[in-house]
Amino acid sequence: MNLVAALAAESSLLCVVGAGGKKSTLYALASRIDRAVVTATVRIPIFDDHVADVVVTGAPADALESAEEWPLGLVPERERPDRYRGYEPETVASVADSNTNANSIFVKADGARTRLLKAPNEREPQLPANANVVVPIASARVVGKPLTEEFVHRPERVAEITDRQVGELIHASDVAGVLASERGGLKDVPDDVTAIPVVNMVDDDQREETGREIAEMVLAEADVPRVVLTQMTAQKPVVAVVE
């Protein structure tokens, strides 16, 4: 199964959340779908090199309708030299509702400060109301690492979900617990939205074994159609699909 099919990304308003591969997922999907849009409801690092054009605008619907270069980035403001601001979720929802030009819209919907695992705070995720796919992400590389800020965004919240102590080593079951939790990867995902968890950075046989272990536990805990194991920076990102 290719990446677009595995993540149900064709003709989707798809939001990525979690840690360990959100941006690379956005860019990988956008490069594989004609007339794709990359945007955000939170801050996003400068991504001009990953799309054909970035339009900085307070009128994203108008920019989308007149777009000629794809994939297209849409953002409201360059907040500082290394990052853009994101739109309000309601703005992205409105753009998606009025869209007649793009095939898919891909949204970065929370932040993780380049960590490998995270749990959301009370203000996250920032999901547009009409999103139809949510992709919670975690990195296989976090297994065996300590539950600390070096590797985990908001380790105290992950500790609450997993019943680990901050500083303890992270197990595959902990990653699965976060991905499958309504306080973690599935927070605020409506029942009628498809959630497809991803275990990213599966870059060798050992991490594939770990990823499959995580996937089986997620499928046992959560109502999701499949878990996708990926190496998003590879030419063929899908390592395995576990159903």
- Three-class HEC string of the chain: CCHHHHCCCCCCEEEEEECCCHHHHHHHHHCCCCCEEEEECCCEECCHHHCCEEEECCCHHHHHHCCCCCCEEEECCEEECCEECCCCHHHHHHHHHHCCCCCEEEEECCCCCCCCEECCCCCCCCCCCCCCEEEEEEEHHHCCCECCCCCEECHHHHHHHHCCCCCCECCHHHHHHHHHCCCCCCCCCCCCCEECCEEECCCCHHHHHHHHHHHHHHHHHCCCCCEEEECCCCCCCEEEEEC
- Domain hosting 172: range is 3-33+104-242
On whether residue 211 sits in a domain, the answer given is: yes
pLDDT at residue 233, as a whole number: 94
On whether residue 217 sits in a domain, the answer given is: yes
Residue 211 confidence class, pLDDT cut points 50, 70, 90: very high
Question: Per residue in 59-114, pLDDT tens?
Answer: 999 999 999 999 999 999 999 999 999 999 999 999 999 999 999 999 999 999 99
Tell me the percentage of the chain whose pLDDT exceeds 90.
100
* Total number of domains in the chain: 1
Residue 12 confidence class, pLDDT cut points 50, 70, 90: very high
Mean pLDDT of the chain: 98
Tell me the percentage of the chain whose pLDDT exceeds 70.
100
On whether residue 64 sits in a domain, the answer given is: no
On whether residue 204 sits in a domain, the answer given is: yes
On whether residue 57 sits in a domain, the answer given is: no
Question: Per residue in 21-69, pLDDT tens?
Answer: 999 999 999 999 999 999 999 999 999 999 999 999 999 999 999 999 9
- Model pTM score: 0.97
On whether residue 65 sits in a domain, the answer given is: no
Question: Per residue in 148-204, pLDDT tens?
Answer: 999 999 999 999 999 999 999 999 999 999 999 999 999 999 999 999 999 999 999
On whether residue 73 sits in a domain, the answer given is: no
On whether residue 71 sits in a domain, the answer given is: no
pLDDT at residue 28, as a whole number: 98
